[in-house]
A and B are shown apart, each in its own frame.
Chain A
Amino acid sequence: GAVVSQHPSRVICKSGTSVKIECRSLDFQATTMFWYRQFPKQSLMLMATSNEGSKATYEQGVEKDKFLINHASLTLSTLTVTSAHPEDSSFYICSARDERIGAFFGQGTRLTVV
């Protein structure tokens, strides 16, 4: 199947700093990418949807100034958690979609803010 690479898999940062997470579609072009947040033992919560070259669409309750999403190319989207706080600690997962073959998830990023 199609491969979506997400990096880093784990990151620990100090409170107040920013963290960037990358999501790459390795063998297909992703017209749309999705960013999810997952709390322990819970389902995936959609944070935002991004289309290449346009601004991301954020779900209700998600702060767009805190979670910056850039989808600069058909194979790369980034999520930057700005001024991170301990409550931002979570598992973040991206998903990349090609209209012909479907959507596939990255491996996830475990963010811990200390």
Chain B
Amino acid sequence: GENVEQHPSTLSVQEGDSAVIKCTYSDSASNYFPWYKQELGKGPQLIIDIRSNVGEKKDQRIAVTLNKTAKHFSLHITETQPEDSAVYFCAARLSGGSYIPTFGRGTSLIVHP
């Protein structure tokens, strides 16, 4: 099955700095890669996603890049703000069949004011 590795497990940055979270996946058949933000005591919320036919996608301060050859994808957050502090999960989904994503272990992002 699919295996998703996520790094780092914790990331501490100063307000205004950029933050980068990286994930690798094992199954080249995966074609959909969502990123979720989970605030304390809440369910994960989809913040951005990318499909395998696209190399990069941007939405205001967040962007995701995908390297299919190397089987890795990254989340980039620019001009970080304290409210960006949360746990971020990457996921990868196999093509076809039911939607059962495989999640990374999560990255705890702390943005210091």
Contacts and interface: CB of A to CB of B under 8 A. Distances in A.
Interface of A: 1, 4, 6, 32, 34, 41-44, 46, 49, 91, 93-94, 97, 99, 102-108, 110
A43 B100 CA distance: 14
A99 B103 CA distance: 19
Contacts of A1: 46
Interface string B28-39: 000000101000
Interface in B34-71: 34, 36, 41-46, 49
Nearest to A45: B103
B99 A107 contact: no
B45 A105 contact: yes
A99 B98 CA distance: 9
A43 B7 CA distance: 13
B104 A32 contact: no
Interface string B86-112: 000100000000111101111010000
Given A43-B89, A43-B104, A43-B106, A103 B44 contact: no
Given A1-B46, A105-B36, A105-B43, A46 B100 contact: yes
Contacts of B106: 41-43
Contact of A93 (B43, B46, B108): B43
Nearest to A98: B99
A110 B42 CA distance: 9
Contacts of B49: 102
A1 B44 CA distance: 13
A107 B108 CA distance: 18
A93 B87 CA distance: 15
A105 B100 CA distance: 13
- Ranked nearest first, the 3 interchain pairs of A and B with the lowest CB-CB distance are A105-B43, A108-B43, A107-B43
B41 to A, nearest CB: 7
Chain B CB count within 10 A is highest, among A1, A6, A102, A106, for A102
